[in-house]
Structure 1
Amino acid sequence: MQRWFFLEDAEKTQTRDHKDESQNESLKSSSQLIYRKWLFKVCASDLKPDETVCVTGSCDELGAWYPDKCVPLLKQESDIWSISLDIPDKKHISYRFCVCVVIEPGLQVIVRHWETAIQCRDIDSDAISPRESDDPLSYGHTQNYYKVDRGWLNKETVVQLKLCNNPLTLWRPKYLNRRVYIKVTPVTLQHHLSGLTSNSVIIDDSLSADTLEDTGEGPKHSYTEVASLQDEDPRFNSQGQFGKEYHDDEMLIFQSTLLFPNNIAFLIDLYIYSSRCSEGEPPYHAGFSYLLPSALQQSEGTAVLPVTSTKHRPLGQIRIDYLVIKPLPFPCDMSTTYQRHWNRRRAGLDVGHRGSGSSFKTKNCAEVRENTIASLKNAIHFGADYVEFDVQLSKDMIPIIYHDFHVCIAMKKKNNMSETDMLELPVKELTFEQLRMLKVYHLTEGKSKNPRFFDDEQEEHQPFPTLQQVLEVLNPHVGFNIEIKWTMQFHDGSYELYHPTDLNLYLDTILEVVLKYGGNRRIVFSCFNADCCTMIRMKQNKYPVMFLTQGETILYPRYYDPRCWSINSAAQYATMIEMLGINVHTEDLLREPSLIKCAVDKDLIIFCWGDDNSNPDTIKFLKELGLHGVIYDKMYQYNSKEIKESIFLAEARDSQKALLIVAAQNAENPTSPPPPVNITGDTKFDIEKIRQNMDDMMSTATSLESLESRVSEYDKI
């Protein structure tokens, strides 16, 4: 008979308690560490008044990589920051510096920017602490190069206000051909304490909008920046006194970082220069609009606002496309980031399109159903470095692998049971169980009533595998190019699909799966929707993002968003948001190969996609142009590698070989430190660095199994 723990004899309970206490004491004694003092000292310039230099690292004393627990340094003089901390002795410590706004130490911290080199700063187990008289470290400079990136959203929210496709209309003829400046200022709204309804708000208008930011009386810890897609330098910068000059056919993006967006309105001021103004004369305040928080109910949307003159007369209207980016509901640590890291020696990577290729085109189709486990495995077997696949959500919010927004299901007619018709349904209207249980057809199969595949009973050939399943079962040495499917607006105002799911929730659901099951796999996100790319970049700090764009083409209808119109626009926006790179349509490159320079000059990684890639000569030509990755169908037919395996698997094998040789030398001469091992020419392997990189190079399974089972194989290499 089962005995419940809460019915245990009192005597036995007392005995067990004493036993647990003795075990805890023993554990506590054995876990006691010896500490040593270490001076962290760094020089960091150009900080904002509320910013502080902090340090985070691999031990509890440095916050264990969690941003909220990072340790603030103390400002000593001008740009010098330092602090002396107790850290574990005889233990290797890794750490990074970051610039933060510390709202509540240990609980609420905003990371403005941070050191993002792949190799962290290190403290060796037997190293000696720097002295006060020593020169400080230089913020951002590690491993002989400078690497600092903007932070991601930890506690704060970002609101972007986008002005594109000539959104400003002024009704007074005298304003034609005048220089117009636009300024966006967040304004705090406060709920009235008594006498009004719960939705009533008041605004403190004791200061003019022009001075709110300068005096710090705006929303606390907020700041607003602006960028133009047409500027030579498209990166975000602080607004001028009168904001940013507006031009026709330009795209301006105002970006405000806020802690409490529900209480923030946006004041949009218009400043116009007089037609007879002299040099140095400022513009005059012509009018303004307010965008209230009640208008920002969704993650994205459009608002058309009246522009009122300073004399309270209608002056015109302005159309604002907004984007609200919220932080993930779970934290990201600062131990590893690949957001803007790429090994430049890796060029011309082979990327399997939807696995082994599109299987529902009018001609030259792949023989394995696209976006299935079987298709992805087939591409991997024939040497893909990355596999590209599409991710969207089912009705019950499960990330699944599928390309099209719609599917067809068979439906029998009432009057003739021998005939069937096809019903077209959005994927988002079906649950995962329904997608897996129903006989589902691709749109082309539904229109032609001619099914292509009859292998649904085989698990790996089933459509709609989950993102978690793909992350868990496929070879960990092959990279993933995860394309996020989200509806786009066409230039005529129509949409690919009406999507009621909130965009923040949609992306959070996908990111949670990737961050939980991604492990050490190389993963790159991409999306045609520029706002999705922005949100993925800002929501997490680990995986890179590439802006997927169709550019100038006659094959597909034009999108509404000007960021998609050309390779140059895509490169400008990727630079603005600090993405890894762009993924462009090959049609553009074949027409004008010099367009690659637009990306390379901005230090961006560039992939390409398109039906033109279904040709071995074209693939070879694109690689010779210097593209970092080529996405194409039929890996089994077009891959020209002599050895059909991922480049990352080859690198992992080389690292294992180097580690085994060094380990063998250690066994032969354990008393002397191992010298660097020269295996291939001038290449030298540092055992400590190899060990630190092992997690990045291979999975746990590979490191344990291969080191033992392949020792004899390495002797033959």
Structure 2
Amino acid sequence: MSPPPIMSSMSPHSPLSQGQEANILEDGNDRACRSSKFLVIGHRGFGMNILQSSDSRFKLMKENSIPSFMAATRFPVDFVEFDVQVTKDGCPVVFHDCLILTEEKGAIVEKRVTELTLEEFLSYGPQADPGKMGKPLFRRTIDGGIFEWKVESDAPLCTLREAFAKIDHSIGFNIELKFDDLVVYKEEQLAHVLQQILKVVKENAKDRPIIFSSFIPDAAQLVKKLQSTYSVFFLTNGGSKIYPDVRRNSLEEAINVCMTGCLHGIVAEVSSILRNPAAVNRIRNSGLSLITYGQLNNIAEVVYVQRLLRVEGVIVDLVQEITEAVYGIVSSSVQEERAVNKHEGPSDTRLLPTAIEDEGLPSDEQLKQVRSQKINLSSHIDNIIQVYQCQ
């Protein structure tokens, strides 16, 4: 099943609207992200791989692969999010890690994706030609552990052009412009990479909704300068990790990056928003949209609280569970309105405590109901994060 298009035009510094038709419109040369609904975005398709996790859902299928994108589209996601880098010979490819690992003669060998040709990159992992044997693929975790990249349903690596060709055009692409955190890039280096990506997008996007995003402030601002067609969001972890570039270290700095570069919004790590919910209004009052990412977005109640806070979308790994929860909210709110009109009892709200309307701020009664459900995330958030980090 393919969800209907959900985008309409948006100028920079204008938050996602709450009461407009969900469609694609063109306003001059600016086709950007604006939605009348809460966006659900599949992280790396059907979810990222956590190879060391005991939860088999994080090892179902290869992240950032065509089958993973297709699996996500079987549910009512609005976008799939994926990472794009450019090979040495100028081909945009879909891969998250800056280093790609294999094993040769019993030893792990690491190479930069950007230092490989397309042919070399595609030689890793399963091959499109069943008669060929690819190099075994390994992955290094944040804590330095190395795991063979084994998932239940494996798939070949892919290019950006291939994703455009094989994924239904009604599904939006949230293209993360991937650069190495440890490298300081000159503007000409960034421009060369971005122009290769933009060339493929221009040739293949047609009317597909597109959002660009990047953790690198200069890359986000430059891609906005290089094109005026699609929305650009700045990615930030909100200060949970400190970088030499101070622009990456807080939500306030993220707002400044967006305002300086005329960007459309922020994609923030969800815990930074839950710890500082007042930031949502600061971001919206700056005319910016707000989407979140992070493993806490795989918890239905966390998503519910963000809807109350007027966060405009979530990037999630557990696509099936969260789309069911979000659409449970929508269906339940409609059912309850009908029930009130007919003097019937309230409907079942499924996974989440209480349904909310798409338009307007949450009422005092809704906030009381949330409190009565004891959803006190701020006092438990560190425990939740610790649990996920241990998986």
TM-score, normalised by the number of residues in structure 1: 0.39
Deviation digits for residues 425-452 of structure 1 (CA, Å, limit 9, x no counterpart):
1111221111222414132389545441
In 2, the alpha carbon distance for the partners of 1:552 and 1:361 equals 26
Match among 152, 165, 172 for residue 479 of structure 1? 172
SS at match of 1:640: helix
Call closer, same or farther: CA 1:503–1:451 in 2, change over 3 Å: closer
Whether 1:399 and 2:109 are equivalent positions in the alignment is no
Match among 173, 183, 207 for residue 520 of structure 1? 207
Would the aligned equivalents of 2:12 and 2:288 in 1 still touch at CA under 8 Å?
no
Call closer, same or farther: CA 1:519–1:544 in 2, change over 3 Å: same
SS at match of 1:502: helix
Alignment partner, residue 502 of structure 1: 189
CA RMSD of aligned residues (A): 2.8
Would the aligned equivalents of 1:407 and 1:440 in 2 still touch at CA under 8 Å?
no
Deviation digits for residues 298-324 of structure 1 (CA, Å, limit 9, x no counterpart):
xxxxxxxxxxxxxxxxxxxxxxxxxxx
Q: Work out the number of aligned pairs and report it.
A: 294
Match among 91, 103, 114 for residue 410 of structure 1? 103
SS at match of 1:452: coil
SS at match of 2:140: helix
Alignment partner, residue 373 of structure 2: none
Would the aligned equivalents of 2:52 and 2:147 in 1 still touch at CA under 8 Å?
no
Match among 266, 287, 301 for residue 603 of structure 1? 287
Call closer, same or farther: CA 1:362–1:476 in 2, change over 3 Å: same
Match among 452, 468, 484 for residue 150 of structure 2? 452
In 2, the alpha carbon distance for the partners of 1:571 and 1:336 equals 24
Whether 1:441 and 2:125 are equivalent positions in the alignment is no
Match among 592, 604, 614 for residue 298 of structure 2? 614
Alignment partner, residue 69 of structure 2: 376
Please state how far the C-alpha of 1:606 moved relative to its aligned partner.
0.4
Equivalences for residues 44-443 of structure 1 within 5 A? 335-339=28-32, 342-343=34-35, 345-346=36-37, 348-363=38-53, 364=55, 365-412=58-105, 420-438=106-124, 439-443=135-139
Moved over 6 A (4+): 147-150, 497-501
Whichever structure has more strand as a proportion of its residues is 1
Would the aligned equivalents of 2:41 and 2:315 in 1 still touch at CA under 8 Å?
yes
Call closer, same or farther: CA 1:596–1:366 in 2, change over 3 Å: farther
Call closer, same or farther: CA 1:351–1:427 in 2, change over 3 Å: same
Would the aligned equivalents of 2:236 and 2:269 in 1 still touch at CA under 8 Å?
yes
Please state how far the C-alpha of 1:637 moved relative to its aligned partner.
2.8
Query: Which protein, 1 or 2, shows the higher relative CO under an 8 Å CA cutoff with sep ≥ 6?
Result: 2
Would the aligned equivalents of 1:360 and 1:444 in 2 still touch at CA under 8 Å?
no
Would the aligned equivalents of 1:549 and 1:584 in 2 still touch at CA under 8 Å?
yes
Would the aligned equivalents of 1:546 and 1:583 in 2 still touch at CA under 8 Å?
yes
Would the aligned equivalents of 1:422 and 1:447 in 2 still touch at CA under 8 Å?
no
Deviation digits for residues 395-436 of structure 1 (CA, Å, limit 9, x no counterpart):
211000000000111201xxxxxxx22111111122111122
In 2, the alpha carbon distance for the partners of 1:370 and 1:455 equals 10
Give the letter for the 1:575 counterpart: M
Please state how far the C-alpha of 1:455 moved relative to its aligned partner.
5.3
Give the letter for the 1:358 counterpart: M
Deviation digits for residues 35-59 of structure 1 (CA, Å, limit 9, x no counterpart):
xxxxxxxxxxxxxxxxxxxxxxxxx
Unaligned runs of 5+ in 2: 1-7, 14-25, 125-134, 329-391
Match among 278, 286, 301 for residue 594 of structure 1? 278
Would the aligned equivalents of 2:64 and 2:94 in 1 still touch at CA under 8 Å?
yes
Please state how far the C-alpha of 1:528 moved relative to its aligned partner.
0.2
SS at match of 1:382: coil
Percent identity over the alignment is: 27
Give the letter for the 2:48 counterpart: S
Please state how far the C-alpha of 1:529 moved relative to its aligned partner.
0.4
Alignment partner, residue 343 of structure 2: none
